[in-house]
A and B are shown apart, each in its own frame.
Chain A
Amino acid sequence: MEALLSAIPWGPVLILLPLAAGIVCFVFPSTAKTVGLLTVTLVPLAVAGLGWRLLAHGVYHHAIGGWGAPLGIDLQADGLSLLMLAMTAVVGFGVSLYATGYFKAEKSGRFWPLWLFLLAALNALFLSGDLFNLYVTLEMIGLAAVAMTALEGARGALVGAMRYLLATLVGSLAYLLGVALLYHGYGTVDLGLLAARVTPSPAAWAALGLMSAGLILKTALFPLHFWLPRAHASAPAPVSALLSALVVKGSFYILLRLWLEIFSPMSGGVAGLLGLLGGAAVLWGSSQALRQTRVKLLVAYSTVAQVGYLFLAFPLAAGMGLTAWSAVVYLAVSHALAKAAMFLAAGNLMRFGGHDRIVDLDRVVQRLPLTAGAFALAGVSIMGLPPSGGFNGKWLLLQAAVTQGRWDIVGVVVIGGLLAAGYIFKVLGHTFTQADVPHEPIAVPARMQWAAVLLAGGAILLGFLAPPFLALLAVGNPFAAGGAGS
């Protein structure tokens, strides 16, 4: 049994399985739902297999084609990759469950191939150890995400998708230019080899700037967040969940890897800049969210704010690397679960009342208790109240900030939490009230409500799972490379 588990190439399986399923769904649209659900059930099992392999044998490494870097492409996975893959698998399962109830027949045949290819691309991204390969996966993700955003053809969605596509293409090209400079400067695009070879030089600085700028544009860090609110708000609900929860984390993951492995000796001032932008994102996103009148736009601005938290850790990493980076990963994973749950709940609200205006939410607590509960639980994690994954992440972040005397960051986190409480309770408050003009309710399928509850519960559950989470994160010591860790 153990020999079998060791022999299975978990990395390629995680990539090829959704690819094959996507192709089957494309050629035979009538089978789309079945094949899709089967795949998203198998992918978490494969992630578990990879996790077993990591715990038993250490860092996972797979040289594609047998050539090995720098000639070939390497797949590699450590604790950080595993947690990202697990996040993708769990959120993917919940959203897929929701999607089986959400999409009608004709759109279903379009959604499933796109989503399965997106899943394959995300898995390929988290497993890749080659910068150019990461570019191709970024493009896969971008095109799939844009196509899904425009799926239902609403006017707002089309404009949002167009803006998203233009932004993502510019970001990818900036990233690719950075890769070109690194290749021509150091002769390889493999992450591990570059980590050893890169020295501060004009080409490396230019590459750092370009790649960071491109990835920040794709992760929607303030002030390059302009494309996100309308794209995420006008997409169909399950697509919004995937975009906010998973897609922005992909480009963030690449930035994190580049930072940790290659650019850490040069980071200094750039880290401070990222922290500043992160703080601005938290304050701006949260205050914009407070001003919104529609649920989905509110949740989308909340994503802008939460992405800012991820960048607050960069200036803290110099002193207390392990705590700061653990905070980042905790926040990223909890946000994925919580934000997906919120978007799914918002989708239920829209399906129920035909609209998502906050003031006109009509006795949702009585008539859609599961959805209101899911939104509340997810809100707990977003606000950072115990017990939840969001709380653990913020706690670690505050710990790192206080120990280093960074009271400005502490202030931003506290104010951000208060503003988050403001916009969460704004929505929750209106779920208790009756609207001026009562609406005829449209039934929301049970699985759609339970999917939202499942994901929100996951965000809360993460609050209790700190020891295993941090233990998994430490496999392969991702934060020690390059001297950024403590």
Chain B
Amino acid sequence: MKWTHWLLLPLLLALAAGLGYAVLSLPDRAQGLQSAVAAQLDQSGVTNPVTAVLLNFRGYDTLLEMVVLLLALLGVWSLGASAPACSQSTPGPVLDTLMRLLVPVLVVVAGYLLWAGAHAPGGAFQAGALLGAAGVLLNLTGGRLRHGLGRVALRVALVAGTVAFMAVALLTLLGGRALLEYPPAHAGILILLIEAAATVSIGVTLAALFLGNDATSEREQ
């Protein structure tokens, strides 16, 4: 740490004090949107308020956020070749057995979380994170994931969630409604469809981010 950075400390202490004072000055009762959410929850198609906010009330943010994830992967891929992430040695028997036990469990729990997101904590991102973890585990124990998906299939899997979301958005627009205004009768099914596609996309994207620039994306040019 350079000596100039010791000068930062009083400044940052002042910042912390100021922010702390601002936080303490906030009103004691939350004036947030819980009542507004609760009032419209039965129109949203799900019973879990967080999922309702994430996929319905503020679904547009979720759509953009899936694009952010895709952008990160695009960025990593466009950086070009780098050192291979893991060695290609075969795993020992303990790791191999553990992987064979854990990966199916991860996939099943991911499926459960996806389904449970409608009425309990869960949903696309949580399930997708588990799938991503399964992918990372597969890669760490022998790199078997590399041979999983062909070029185009991989890309389709990566964009499936965003495409599903945008297809629903387009349908709502063509139906004369506002953007992403789900018809209340079908909202639950639409949300589940979007979340299912998103789970796959998020899982594959996270695993691909871990792999870095893999061989399939280099071969394509």
Contact = CB atoms under 8 A, between A and B. Distances in A.
Interface of A: 9, 11-12, 16, 19-20, 23, 26-27, 29, 62-67, 70-73, 75, 105-106, 109-110, 113-114, 117, 120-121, 124, 132-133, 136-137, 139-140, 143-144, 146-147, 150-151, 153, 177, 181, 183-188, 201-203, 205-207, 209-210
A183 B30 CA distance: 10
Which residue among B166, B170, B180 has the maximum number of chain A CB atoms within 10 Å of its CB? B180
Interface string B67-100: 1101110110111100000000000000000000
B22 A133 contact: no
B40 A65 contact: no
Interface stretch (B106-114, B125-133, B156-164): B156-164
A110 B31 contact: no
Contacts of B163: 23
Contacts of A19: 67, 162, 166
B14 to A, nearest CB: 11
A150 to B, nearest CB: 6
Nearest to A183: B32
Nearest to A149: B75
Nearest to B22: A206
23 contacts: A12-B179, A26-B74, A26-B159, A62-B178, A62-B179, A63-B178, A71-B36, A72-B58, A136-B61, A136-B68, A139-B68, A140-B67, A143-B68, A143-B75, A144-B75, A146-B75, A150-B78, A150-B79, A183-B32, A186-B31, A187-B33, A203-B25, A206-B22
Contacts of A72: 57-58
B60 A27 contact: no
A125 to B, nearest CB: 10
Given A27-B152, A73-B58, 16 more contacts: A20-B166, A23-B163, A65-B56, A71-B33, A73-B61, A106-B221, A110-B77, A136-B68, A139-B68, A143-B71, A146-B75, A181-B26, A185-B26, A202-B25, A206-B19, A209-B18
Contacts of B50: none
B155 interface: yes
Contact of B67 (A9, A71, A117, A150): A117
Q: Which 5 A-B pairs have the closest CB atoms?
A: A147-B75, A206-B22, A66-B181, A187-B31, A110-B78
B65 to A, nearest CB: 6
A205 B68 CA distance: 30
A65 B45 CA distance: 13
Given A16-B166, A105-B221, A133 B64 contact: yes
Nearest to A210: B19
Given A16-B169, A72-B58, A136-B65, A109 B221 contact: yes
B85 to A, nearest CB: 18
A150 B71 CA distance: 13
Which residue among A27, A150, A207 has the maximum number of chain B CB atoms within 10 Å of its CB? A27
Contacts of A151: 78
Contacts of A109: 220-221
A206 B60 contact: no
Contact of A206 (B18, B37, B77): B18
Given A106-B221, A144-B71, A65 B181 contact: yes
Interface of chain B: mostly helix, strand, loop or mixed: helix
Contacts of B36: 70-71
B123 interface: no
Interface of chain A: mostly helix, strand, loop or mixed: helix
B177 interface: yes
B22 A205 contact: yes
A65 B60 contact: yes
B185 interface: no
Given A27-B155, A117-B71, A133-B60, A184 B30 contact: yes
B143 interface: no
A149 to B, nearest CB: 10
Interface in B154-208: 155-156, 158-159, 162-163, 166, 169-170, 173, 177-182
Contacts of A64: 59-60, 178-181
A66 B179 CA distance: 8
A209 B15 CA distance: 10
B26 to A, nearest CB: 5
A202 B78 contact: no
B23 interface: yes
Contacts of B71: 114, 117, 140, 143-144, 147
Interface string B1-45: 000000000000000001101110111001111001100100000
A18 to B, nearest CB: 10
A156 to B, nearest CB: 15
A65 B169 contact: no
Nearest to B18: A206
Nearest to B62: A136
Contact of A202 (B21, B80, B169): B21
Contacts of A133: 58, 60-61, 64
Contacts of B31: 186-187
